[in-house]
Amino acid sequence: MKRLFKKLQSIQGALRFHELSFVVLIVMTALMSFNWALAWQKSSEESLRLSSMNTHVQHLRGDLYRQLKEVFDVVFLNDALAIEEYYQFSNQINRYLLRLKALAKSPSEEILIVRIEYAYSKFYQETRRFLEVDELTSGDKVWLDEQLEDQTFRQLEKVFRDIEHYLQQQQQQLTDSDERMFGQMVLSEALPIILALVLLSISKWFVRRNMLAPLRNVTKGAKIISTGDFQHHIPLKGLDELQRLSQAINSMADELASNRDKLIETKKQAALGELVPLVAHNIRNPLAGIRAAAQVSIDEANEESRAVLKDIIIAVDRLENWVTSLLMYLHPLKPSLIETTLTELTDNALSLIELQLKDKSLQLQREGWLQTARLTYMDNNLMEQAVFNLIQNAIEAAPTHSTIYIRYWETARQIGLQIEDQGPGFSASPQAENSQLHKKLNCGLGIPFAQKVINQHQGELTFENISAGGARVSLILELDNMPSDE
């Protein structure tokens, strides 16, 4: 049953089912018509048989009266020609009896014919003896005039009435049967029409539910997808072919979405390819001058100034490494991994933005720093710059005199960092396409660069708005998927 239902779920199976249904309907109508025609033929033949029997009975009865008349003509009128006619009528009556026997089908009919035959035989025996004597006595004439008519002929009349009554009864039953058959025929002929209407209704419902409605969904879905909404999926409904078509369009939409993401990423890379070298050039030249000046001045400076100049040289070298990493972002190489902790990277990044925190009167609250962070292999320069960019974005978004929260957490399989600010939050997803990439959501290069670095480390970067106000950026690294230093 399931296999049959599954076949009906295809266009070919549905068409075959409807074709077979109509063929069955036609065959059923033809068989019913044939049966009714056969029934009418049998009824007509039976009616003709009964009519023929009635006709023979009437002829036999008439010839019997005429044969009796010939007996009276011989006895009372001495008509010599009446004897010959008497025997002619006898032969004719015997032929009628043979025909009646041939037409009889039921035992009742055979019994009635035997009764006629017996009564006629008696009549024939009693009347023939009057034709064989030369002279009749007065007693014979009286018997012929009274006894034959009162007894023998009365028995014949009774048999004739019985068979006539029987034939009338059979004819009436046949008429009643024909009337009933006609009524049944009208109802049965209406049955194919009713079945055809039911089949038409079912077909209409089936086509509307399994073909037209799914086709409308496909058309509507294709229009929606053509506008660029590749997340829209057409429901898989209807016949198998339509479901496969819907599935193919959905797969096409998914592939288009994937290709669009790749195209966006390509555009980002192209934009950064134009922007980063310019930024790197404009940063390196001043950095080189600052470092050279600090290096020259360090020998002549006092102890306190020498410490400050060393910090300047360290910061310049770190910025130089960041610029190098930024250039590597355009042409990714295999990450240079060292064993370090996420908290150590974050502290190094925070050391460069202490002045910015003071300028906006921002409070920085670290959480999770009391525990011993897990050592993992990461590219120190790339990851440090990614964290720096994320914190920098939070500082730019945070209002004055607010607090920035940085939380470190770890589990058996993951480590992560959350950065929360109390700013206005994201007006749109930072991952959405924007042609002016360097000013995207006022977050500069920070988020695209961080995304690239986190992806290189097989991690995930998520963005969300906080219901109480502000935004949260979550950096998650899967320890099982971290690149190894091989």
User: Do 151 and 8 share a structural domain?
Assistant: yes
Residue 230 located in a structural domain = no
Q: Let me know whether 266 and 177 are in one domain.
A: no
139, 277: one domain: no
CATH of the domain at 445: 3.30.565.10
Domain final residue pick, 331, 366, 397: 331
Q: Report yes or no on 313 lying in a domain.
A: yes
Does residue 244 lie within any of the structural domains? Answer: no
CB 347 within 8 A of CB 388: no
pLDDT in tens, the chain (486 residues): 556 555 556 666 667 766 777 777 787 777 777 787 888 888 888 889 999 999 999 999 899 888 888 877 877 777 778 888 988 999 999 999 999 999 988 898 899 889 888 888 888 887 787 776 666 666 666 666 666 666 667 778 888 889 889 989 988 988 888 888 777 777 776 777 787 778 778 877 877 777 778 878 888 888 888 887 878 888 887 777 777 888 888 888 888 877 777 777 677 666 666 666 666 656 766 766 677 677 667 767 777 777 777 777 777 766 776 676 666 656 555 678 889 999 999 998 888 888 788 878 899 999 999 888 899 988 888 888 889 989 988 998 899 989 999 999 999 899 999 999 998 888 766 654 443 444 433 334 567 778 888 888 889 999 999 888 889 999 999 887 666 555
| Residue 322 domain flag | yes
Residue 313 shares a structural domain with residue 374: no
Q: Indicate the residue among 195, 212, 229 that finishes a domain.
A: 212
Question: pTM score, two decimals?
Answer: 0.42
CA-atom Rg of the chain in angstroms: 59
Residue 263 is predicted with a pLDDT of 73
229 within domain boundaries:
no
Q: Which of 462, 459, 463 is nearest to 479 (CA)?
A: 459
Q: Is residue 472 part of a domain?
A: yes
Q: Are residues 268 and 176 in the same domain?
A: no
Tokens of 163: 């068979």
Alpha carbon separation from 91 to 63, 67, 85, 206 (Å, rounded): 10, 11, 10, 76
The single-letter code of the amino acid at 52 is S
User: What is the count of structural domains for the chain?
Assistant: 3
Instruction: Tell me, yes or no, whether 304 and 412 share the same domain.
Output: no
Question: Using one digit for the tens of pLDDT, what is the confidence trace for 47-65?
Answer: 899 999 999 999 998 998 8
Distances, alpha carbon 205 to alpha carbons 21, 114, 208, 213, in Å? 16, 68, 5, 11
For residue range 159-181, list pLDDT tens digits in order: 888 988 998 998 898 888 888 87
Boundary of a domain, candidates 331, 352, 382: 331
Question: Is 478 within a domain?
Answer: yes
Residues 262 and 181 in one domain: no
- Domain hosting residue 13, numbered range: 2-212
Looking up tokens 């974005």 gives 393
